[in-house]
């Protein structure tokens, strides 16, 4: 990767972000502008903003890396990320907008008239938001490190500074422009190099081995191991090694490695013959492409269904997704916006598989050395080369950085909104700016402390927690009259809490293996029904506590605005 | 145009008075005043909207649910997985969404016609 091209590209993206943000700042006048862009964002602009915010680095870099390492089954991630919006559309979008609330805690309080439900929802929103922010900051550090050799903390700090500046200065109005701009930037940055790569692939005779399973080397390939790693072999493999393998030094010797795990020390050179399957590597789990891979290998079907449930149902509860719907002018616009979002996100997700497939073809050794996340960034250089390859690589670097910036700003905005309303003593724009700082600094500090938590793991955890706590709250809150405050609290604690505990236990490495391990690593399949059931049963048991205003609130959620306008109690406008 | 701006005539208007208040029956007032009948109207709208949502959700589950099983029993055809997950599922998702929005908006129009008594 040529840093002479990458550094200007990243700088350009940062500069453009600040400029577009400043443009929004000039027309951001009132408090309402600040929080919800005065609720006047039309479907197209809002949809581009939602998509721009949603497509994080895990989408831009991570999916191609996952596909490269683990094959096409990983394409369930983008499918789930997209289908989540369909579920959100049919159950939540319009009523959520009509609820007139600004954040999930607002929704919880408006629906259930209970401060304690509100506080629990606020805690969960902040928790999920920080969980999601952490890998964004870490990923930015990793990307900048790969691209330019800058120290690992630098990328995270850069993202944090830019995000705080744009969010604190302009609020929702300017962020809307920034994120709409970044969607188109990301799409272009992924589309243009993909076209050139496909042309190069075509010129290469359009080899189809990329789709074979497992991935194999096409030609004799020498792989230099930069960091000590463990490789896992499903079958015995013969390689030529120069360096230390399993504690023994070799010099250009042919080795027959039996199936199992082998330790390869740094500086070792391995030569693979054409047709050899690409072994899986594990370089300490610092990348985005190792999402609980072991549990997946043991029980692929269970893991796939767990992933489907978490992503399909988890999207509706993600704090940065929810907050965007309040900027639509009315419920009908919120629905139409979601359809456009589905189209935009679906179009984007056609591209990462291209990179994943070409990566398997032209850079299979990335899977071995644990740098699969860099596949998208280095492919133009490997396949096309020359100035053209470098320019396309720079475009991709800029797009990747846009991905970090947009998702991080959306999350920061959502977390800061909740912090302002529920944690800080007084409200107002000045405290919102303080909350913005707080929203970013905590995960930044955590990323310095925790070190390498794989991006996809943390993102998957956020989805699972959201699916088992916010999904029952939203769906039952919108469609069921019988929901009570104790029921909501119990359901969120049982569902979200157990999902959180399960994945934390997996990450800490508690269960060694077997069925229990898979059960804990992919909790959504049991924690979502647990959340729903607890919420329903406890609500039924405490039926006397059904809030008095339930019927009126549900009428507001579901009646078209034109009809509702005549009602005596006007919808509560947000005055944060 | 009078010279002195204070002399300008100003028309003061009030909220137009409802002429149909007592005589004409409107289901709309039932909803506004939260009577039992009003709740029944809201319930009927909720039921039709929930039905539309559940229909789409059921189609989604039937469409996507069996896919992992299909892929599991046909591992000899990796191109299928690439084709379906990389491209094939997205158009149905968008079509389902468009169908739902049309249906939901029609439900709301029908409901508005019912309660506005037009």
pLDDT in tens, A48-103: 988 998 888 778 888 888 888 878 888 999 999 999 999 999 999 999 988 887 78
- Say yes or no: A89 and A137 in one domain: yes
Distance CA A314, CA A366 (A): 31
* B52 within some domain: yes
- Say yes or no: A261 and A301 in one domain: no
Rounded average pLDDT over A175-193: 88
pLDDT tens-digit map of B50-74: 999 999 999 999 999 999 998 888 7
- Say yes or no: A305 and A428 in one domain: yes
- Say yes or no: A174 and A125 in one domain: yes
Q: A252: part of which helix (H) or strand (E)?
A: strand A248-257
- Say yes or no: A271 and A317 in one domain: no
* B53 within some domain: yes
- The whole domain housing B37 covers 25-116
Contact list, B86 vs chain A (CB under 8 Å): 72, 75, 350, 353
Residue of B nearest to A564 (CA): B32
* B20 within some domain: no
* B9 within some domain: no
Rounded average pLDDT over A411-424: 84
CB of B87 within 8 Å of any CB in chain A? yes
* A365 within some domain: yes
Contact list, B79 vs chain A (CB under 8 Å): 211
User: What pLDDT is recorded for position A27?
Assistant: 60
Distance CA A70, CA A295 (A): 13
Pull the structure tokens for residue A344.
């935009």
- Say yes or no: A126 and A158 in one domain: yes
* A444 within some domain: yes
CB A375 within 8 A of CB A68: yes
Pull the structure tokens for residue A32.
């309402």
Residue B15: other Cβ atoms inside 10 A: 5
Pull the structure tokens for residue A294.
């072991």
* B29 within some domain: yes
* B6 within some domain: no
- Over 70: is that where the pLDDT of A212 sits? no
Share of chain A above pLDDT 90, in %: 22
* A566 within some domain: no
* A571 within some domain: no
DSSP-H helix ranges across A363-428? 365-369, 375-383, 386-422
The domain total for chain A is: 2
Beta-bridge mates of residue A280: A232
* A185 within some domain: yes
CB A436 within 8 A of CB A170: no
DSSP-H helix ranges across A27-98? 31-36, 43-54, 57, 63-70, 76-91, 93-98
Residue closest to A379 by CA, chosen among A139, A78, A96, A65: A65
* B17 within some domain: no
Binned at pLDDT 50, 70 and 90, residue A571 comes out as: very low
Q: Which residue has the tokens 């598989």?
A: A353
User: What pLDDT is recorded for position A287?
Assistant: 42
Rounded average pLDDT over A286-292: 43
Q: What is the CATH number of the domain that holds A194?
A: 1.20.1730.10
User: What pLDDT is recorded for position A511?
Assistant: 59
Residue of A nearest to B55 (CA): A90
- Say yes or no: A221 and A104 in one domain: no
Residue closest to A320 by CA, chosen among A125, A534, A93, A452: A125
**Average pLDDT along chain A:** 81
* A78 within some domain: yes
Contacts of A49 (CB under 8 A, 6+ apart): A41, A175, A176, A177, A179, A180, A183, A324
Residue of B nearest to A86 (CA): B97
Buried b (16+ CB within 10 A) or exposed e, A190-212: bbbbbebbeebbeeeeeeeebbe
Distance CA A103, CA A228 (A): 46
Half-sphere exposure of A29 (CA within 13 A, CB side): 1
- Say yes or no: A401 and A385 in one domain: yes
- Say yes or no: A238 and A291 in one domain: no
- The whole domain housing A259 covers 217-277
Contact A560 B108 (CB under 8 A): yes
- Say yes or no: A335 and A443 in one domain: yes
- Say yes or no: A430 and A451 in one domain: yes
Return the minimum-mean-pLDDT range out of A491-495, A504-508, B38-42, B69-73: A504-508
Contact list, B96 vs chain A (CB under 8 Å): 86
- Say yes or no: A356 and A427 in one domain: yes
The domain total for chain B is: 1
User: What pLDDT is recorded for position A101?
Assistant: 78
């Amino acid at each position: 990767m040529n840093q002479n091209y990458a550094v200007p590209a990243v700088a350009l993206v940062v500069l453009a972000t600040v400029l577009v943000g400043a443009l929004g700042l000039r027309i951001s006048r009132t408090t309402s502008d600040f929080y919800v862009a005065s609720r006047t964002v039309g479907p197209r602009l809002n949809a581009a903003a939602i998509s721009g915010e949603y497509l994080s680095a895990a989408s831009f870099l991570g999916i191609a890396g996952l596909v490269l390492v683990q094959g096409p089954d990983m394409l369930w991630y983008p499918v789930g990320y997209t289908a989540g919006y369909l579920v959100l559309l049919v159950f939540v979008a319009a009523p959520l907008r009509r609820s007139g609330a600004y954040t999930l805690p607002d929704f919880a309080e408006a629906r259930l008239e209970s401060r304690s439900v509100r506080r629990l929802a606020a805690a969960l929103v902040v928790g999920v938001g920080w969980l999601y922010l952490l890998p964004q900051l870490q990923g930015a550090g990793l990307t900048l490190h790969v691209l330019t050799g800058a120290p690992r903390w630098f990328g995270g700090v850069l993202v944090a500074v830019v995000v705080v500046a744009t969010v604190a200065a302009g609020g929702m109005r300017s962020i809307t422009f920034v994120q709409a701009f970044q969607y188109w930037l990301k799409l272009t940055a992924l589309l243009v190099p993909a076209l050139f790569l496909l042309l190069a692939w075509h010129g290469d005779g359009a080899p189809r081995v990329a789709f074979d399973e497992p991935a194999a080397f096409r030609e004799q390939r020498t792989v230099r191991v930069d960091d000590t790693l463990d490789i896992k072999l499903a079958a015995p493999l013969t390689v030529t090694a120069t360096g230390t393998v399993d504690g023994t030094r070799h010099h250009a010797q042919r080795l027959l490695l039996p199936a199992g795990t082998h330790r390869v020390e740094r500086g070792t050179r391995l030569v693979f013959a054409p047709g050899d399957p690409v072994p899986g590597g594990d370089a300490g789990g610092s990348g985005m492409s190792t999402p609980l891979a072991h549990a997946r290998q043991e029980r692929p079907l269970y893991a796939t269904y767990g992933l489907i449930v978490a992503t399909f149902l988890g999207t509706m509860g993600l704090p940065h997704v929810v907050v965007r719907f309040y900027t639509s002018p009315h419920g009908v616009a919120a629905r139409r916006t979601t359809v456009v979002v589905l189209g935009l996100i679906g179009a984007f997700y056609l591209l990462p598989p291209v990179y994943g497939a070409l990566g398997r073809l032209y850079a299979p050794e990335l899977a071995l050395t644990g740098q699969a996340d860099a596949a998208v960034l280095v492919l133009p250089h490997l396949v096309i080369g020359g100035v053209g390859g470098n320019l396309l690589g720079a475009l991709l670097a800029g797009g990747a950085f846009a991905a970090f910036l947009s998702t991080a700003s959306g999350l920061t905005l959502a977390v800061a909104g909740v912090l302002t309303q529920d944690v800080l003593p007084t409200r107002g724009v000045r405290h919102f700016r303080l909350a913005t700082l707080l929203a970013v600094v905590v995960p930044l500090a955590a990323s310095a402390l925790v070190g390498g938590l794989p991006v996809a793991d943390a993102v998957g955890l956020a989805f699972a927690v959201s699916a088992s706590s916010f999904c029952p709250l939203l769906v039952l809150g919108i469609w069921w009259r019988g929901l009570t405050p104790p029921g909501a609290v119990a359901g969120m604690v049982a569902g979200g809490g157990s999902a959180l505990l399960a994945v934390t236990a997996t990450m800490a490495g508690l269960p060694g293996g077997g069925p229990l391990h898979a059960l804990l690593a992919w909790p959504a399949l049991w924690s979502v029904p647990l959340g729903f059931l607890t919420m329903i049963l406890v609500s039924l048991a405490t039926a006397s506590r059904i809030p008095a205003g339930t019927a009126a609130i549900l009428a507001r959620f579901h009646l078209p605005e034109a009809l509702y306008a005549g009602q005596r109690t006007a919808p509560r406008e947000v005055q944060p | 145009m009078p010279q002195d701006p204070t002399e300008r005539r100003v028309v003061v208007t009030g909220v137009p008075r409802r002429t149909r208040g007592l005589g004409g029956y409107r289901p709309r007032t039932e909803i506004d005043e939260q009577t039992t009948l009003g709740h029944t109207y809201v319930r009927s709208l909720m039921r039709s909207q929930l039905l539309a949502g559940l229909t789409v959700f059921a189609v989604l589950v039937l469409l996507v649910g069996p896919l992992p099983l299909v892929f599991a029993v046909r591992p000899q055809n990796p191109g299928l997985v690439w084709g379906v997950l990389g491209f094939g599922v997205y158009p149905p998702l968008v079509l389902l969404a468009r169908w739902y929005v049309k249906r939901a908006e029609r439900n709301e129009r029908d409901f508005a016609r019912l309660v506005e008594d037009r």
